Amino acid sequence: MKDAATPKGLRGRLSGYLAGEPLFPIVVLFLLNAVDEFDSRTFELLGPEIADHFGVGIGTFGLINIIAILLVPLVAMPVAYLGDRWKRMPLAVAGAAAWGAFSLGTGLAPTLVLLMVTRVGSSFGKVVNEPVHGSLIADFYSPRSRAKAFGLHSLANPVGAAVASVLAGGIAEALGFRAAFFFLAIPTLITLIVAMRLREPSRGSYERMETPDAPPLPETVRRLWAVRSLRYQYIGLAFAGGSILGIGVLVPFYLRDEFGVQPFLRGVLIGVGTALSAIGIVIGTAVAQRKLDERPSRGLVLLCWAGVVAAVSLVCLAIAPTLWLSILFIWTVMVVFAFVAPGLRAITALVAPPEIRSSAFALAGLIALSGSGFALAGFLIGDRYSVRWAVALMAPIFLRGVLYFFKAATFLDDDVERLLPGHRRKAAARGRRTPVLLEAQGLTVSYDGVRVLFGVDLEIRRGEIVALLGTNGAGKSTTLNAISGIVVPDGGNVWFEGQAVTGEAPERTAARGIVQVPGGRGVFPGLSVAENLKMGCFLIRRDTSLVAERMDEVATLFPRLAERMPQRAGSLSGGERQMLTLAQSFVLRPKLLLIDELSLGLAPALVQELLEAVREMNRSGITIVLVEQSVNIALTLADRAYFMEKGEVRFHGATADLLKRRDLLRSVFLEGAAKRRQ
């Protein structure tokens, strides 16, 4: 074995690397992890020969591969569960024995069905590696050298793959593909024997993984999904994972079908690529770590551009006219994949809440598998047309995934910041049911790089009317727009009924029950009044009886509108339009109504009528936030008020208290109002 052949110097250095902790465990686990690659790499590399032997195309071959992988999650959870209760070393050894046996079986399988069974069996065997090895390393090594041990352990994958590619290719070329499986089962057997000598470490010998009360699964998934940068990464992963899976299977076929590359050369080429990608991992870890330290989003964007490079390389690969060019592109793709992986893992760790971090990784794995449909589509195209087309198909799919990662990058910094301790405590407290309907915290908004809101905090309780006052350009309307989602805030958060709604599209927030009444431009002038109201009912359109009921209510609340149902809204007077706007929002019966400039440019008599309607809506249980220029109106309606100036909240409290604030009232427009009231 390799460790036996290693010179004393390396051994000494490794020992130093791990701060004098024992080497034997990591060597064993490294070997187990490496020989795991032997089996899967051999199968992938020799795909063309196996497919030919059984007389099937890429489609069927790929399907077997996908099924074997897709069944993994079925046993992954139970194995992880067992790993937390049983002795783990026997489990690891049993797993290795299983895939070793099934790997041998692959070499023997006489029919396609049996081949499939062996594949499924061997991938079940490999399931033990991820959870069990991780847990073992944590107990073999102290936190000080644990990261390094993990690093060494994951290095086993490329090393194993590179060795396997070359060996399998060579053996298959000389003796056929079945022989390759036989010979490559031997290292697995030897490793098994060595592994049996490793003693089980005492569980939690250093501390246990700190997982305080991890929430139940659905809650976990929901919470992960709520992190926007994570969500877009997951979606992107479905695309990217599918295409990566596809490429893995397609490349050997591509080399064989397009350039007639025989197994050995193929193995060498892919082996060299794997070795190169090990360099990619090392560089990727360093570069990504540096960029991530600088600013997380910058790191992700860098990885995304690397992804674009891979996509372009895939296209080039699809049209590459010569073998050497195509090799160049294959290597590029492999290196980029390897380069990106550690960075992405680090980013997931960065934004996932710590207590559900391991679930975040598990979910990522599952989602990456869910993209295997794309791979299958590629295989079918490869069968029907040519491998080139299949490779070409993978490029846009992969690129689609990369675009999602770009999108994730735009949310990343914000999400990372949100995990800072202070934020988290608050968010937890907020989860409890309070009479608070809407809360905004630290809301900042910029237009074209010019900041107009500087950390606005708001708290709106159920059932109240709150006025938002301020001079022109103070940011009142912008605040409303940021809540309803018309503008996307670049910082801060909005919670509605305890859930984060920051940056959600207005149609989503409307569905949640936040409806904004824009001042003076709320109607659709070309549509009739009836059609305008119908648009107000869009969200409840399926419930026709409810729609009819609400329409009747509107007719009683605004008799004037009822008379003008067939008229075009454009022909209404200003006051009637404002009424229509209110009515449109009223039929939806929102939980929170954001009213912008209700009285702008209207005659006092009309304003009174509208105010009455607003009160009526409030009485029916709708919470109302009112932005007003006219302080008189605001103060007669509202219980509480926020006073804004230059993009910040200067005062908030009961309206009566606002009147006592001389300093604020000195501000131009309030003065007159205060005098009048006194």
Partner 1 sequence: MTIGAAVGMANALLAMGLVLIYMSNRVINLAHGEFGAFAVAMMLALTRSARLNYWLALTISLLATAALAALIERGILRRLFASPRLIVLIATIGIAQLIIVGRLVLPKPRVAGGEQALIGGPNIFPLPFSFTPIEFRRVVIGPQHVLALVVGPLLALAVIAFLRYTSYGIALRAAAENMPRARLLGIPVGRVSTLAWIVGGVTAGMAGILLAPIIGFSATEAVGLPILMRGLAAAMAARMESIGIAFGVGLGLGITDQLVFFWTGRSGLTDLVLLAVILATLLLRRRASRRTVASEESSWEVAEPVRALPVEVTSHPRWRLLGGGAGALGAIVLALAPLPFGDSATFFLATVALVAVVAVSATVLTGWAGQMSLGQWALAGVGGVFGAKLVVTYGLPYWLAFVVAAIAGGIIALLLGLPAVRLEGTALAVVTLGFAVAASSWLFEQSWFRGSGFLVRPDFMPTTVYYFVSLGLLVVAVVAARAFQRKRIGRNMIAVRDNPLQAAAMGIDVNRTKLTAFVFSGVLAAAAGFLWSMGIGLADSGVFDPIRSLSIVAAIVIGGLGSVAGAIVGALYLLAVPYFAGDISPYVGLLASGVGLLLLVLLLPGGLARLMYGGRDLVARAITGLQVRS
Nearer to partner 1, 159 or 530 (CB): 530
- Among 203, 534, 564, 650, contact with partner 1 (rule: CB under 8 A): 534
The answer to whether 557 contacts partner 1 (rule: CB under 8 A) is no
Number of helices followed by number of strands (H, E) in the chain: 31, 10
The answer to whether 527 contacts partner 1 (rule: CB under 8 A) is yes
The answer to whether 525 contacts partner 1 (rule: CB under 8 A) is yes
Stretch binding partner 1 (CB under 8 A), from 154-162, 238-246, 295-303, 505-513: 505-513
The answer to whether 325 contacts partner 1 (rule: CB under 8 A) is no
- Among 24, 225, 447, 538, contact with partner 1 (rule: CB under 8 A): 538
The answer to whether 521 contacts partner 1 (rule: CB under 8 A) is yes
Stretch binding partner 1 (CB under 8 A), from 329-337, 340-348, 522-530, 627-635: 522-530
Chain positions 471 to 490 lying near partner 1, rule: CB under 8 A, are: 484-486
Query: Closest separation between CB of residue 143 and partner 1, Å?
Result: 41
Stretch binding partner 1 (CB under 8 A), from 97-105, 145-153, 470-478, 532-540: 532-540
Distance, in Å, from the CA atom of 595 to the CA atom of 460, rounded to the nearest integer, reads: 14
Query: Closest separation between CB of residue 538 and partner 1, Å?
Result: 5
- Can you read off the two tokens belonging to residue 44? 């992938």
Distance, in Å, from the CA atom of 509 to the CA atom of 39, rounded to the nearest integer, reads: 51
DSSP letter, residue 540: G
- Can you read off the two tokens belonging to residue 446? 């910029």
The answer to whether 506 contacts partner 1 (rule: CB under 8 A) is yes
Calculate the alpha carbon distances from 469 to 394, 522, 677, 678 in Å: 55, 21, 16, 19
Query: Closest separation between CB of residue 378 and partner 1, Å?
Result: 18
Distance, in Å, from the CA atom of 555 to the CA atom of 558, rounded to the nearest integer, reads: 5
On the 0-12 / 13-18 / 19+ scale of CB atoms within 10 A, 16 is exposed
The answer to whether 598 contacts partner 1 (rule: CB under 8 A) is no
Query: Closest separation between CB of residue 90 and partner 1, Å?
Result: 51
Nearer to partner 1, 207 or 294 (CB): 294
Nearer to partner 1, 525 or 601 (CB): 525
- Can you read off the two tokens belonging to residue 391? 């490779």
The answer to whether 584 contacts partner 1 (rule: CB under 8 A) is yes
Nearer to partner 1, 505 or 603 (CB): 505
On the 0-12 / 13-18 / 19+ scale of CB atoms within 10 A, 433 is exposed
The answer to whether 328 contacts partner 1 (rule: CB under 8 A) is no
Nearer to partner 1, 103 or 585 (CB): 585
The answer to whether 522 contacts partner 1 (rule: CB under 8 A) is yes
Nearer to partner 1, 226 or 505 (CB): 505
- Among 52, 355, 490, 531, contact with partner 1 (rule: CB under 8 A): 531
**Any bridge partners for residue 624, and if so which?**
465, 593
- Can you read off the two tokens belonging to residue 92? 């690891």
Q: Cα 436–439–440 angle (5° rounding)? A: 170
Query: Closest separation between CB of residue 21 and partner 1, Å?
Result: 45
Task: Choose among 372, 305, 343, 593: nearest CA to 466.
Answer: 593
DSSP letter, residue 132: I
The answer to whether 385 contacts partner 1 (rule: CB under 8 A) is no
Q: Hey, what amino acid is at 638?
A: A
For 118-145, b/e burial (b = at least 16 CB within 10 A) is bbbbbbbbbbbbbbbbbbbbbbbbeeeb
- Among 17, 150, 454, 524, contact with partner 1 (rule: CB under 8 A): 524
Task: Choose among 451, 358, 351: nearest CA to 411.
Answer: 351
The answer to whether 511 contacts partner 1 (rule: CB under 8 A) is yes
**Any bridge partners for residue 305, and if so which?**
none
The answer to whether 373 contacts partner 1 (rule: CB under 8 A) is no
Query: Closest separation between CB of residue 480 and partner 1, Å?
Result: 10
The answer to whether 377 contacts partner 1 (rule: CB under 8 A) is no
Is the distance from CB of 619 to CB of 650 less than 8 angstroms?
no
Query: Closest separation between CB of residue 309 and partner 1, Å?
Result: 12
| Phi-psi group of 56: left, alpha or beta (phi > 0 → left; psi -120 to 50 → alpha; rest → beta) | beta
Stretch binding partner 1 (CB under 8 A), from 230-238, 267-275, 361-369, 518-526: 518-526
Strand ranges for 276-428 from DSSP E? none
Q: Catalog residues that contact partner 1 under the rule CB under 8 A.
A: 308, 319, 321, 403, 484-486, 505-507, 510-511, 515-518, 521-527, 531-532, 534-536, 538-539, 541, 584-585, 588
